[in-house]
Amino acid sequence: MTTIEWVRSCKKIESTPDPNEAIQTSNQLARLWANDEVARILAAGDESLNQAATMLAGRYQLVTPVTDAVVVLERP
């Protein structure tokens, strides 16, 4: 039986990456990154950063402690 394991990790970047060397990825992977960033911002406990977390979560359409979700049901 084969077992496949995915591990997400992050590393500190010493300088700003060159945008010309960027690799296009999936929307879901970008949303995972954004969710981690929102969690990191909120974990700092600095309420002055809540607006940045809210804007990032909104841009990637995430439901977080600083954003809301609206469910719209269509009737037949």
12-42 pLDDT, tens digit each: 777 777 878 878 888 898 899 899 999 999 9
Average of per-residue pLDDT values in the chain: 84
Tokens of 26: 């999936």
Q: Is the pTM of this model over 0.75?
A: no
pLDDT of residue 75: 75
Residue 51 lies in a domain: yes
Q: For residues 70 and 41, what is the distance between their CA atoms, to the nearest angstrom?
A: 23
Within 10 Å of residue 42's Cβ, how many Cβ atoms?
19
Q: Count CB-CB contacts under 10 A for residue 73.
A: 4
Is 22 contained in some domain?
no
Of 73, 76, 75, 53, give the one whose Cα is nearest residue 65.
53
- The total of structural domains in the chain comes to 1
Residue 9 lies in a domain: no
- 8 found inside a domain: no
Question: Does any domain span residue 3?
Answer: no
Q: Is residue 41 domain-resident?
A: yes
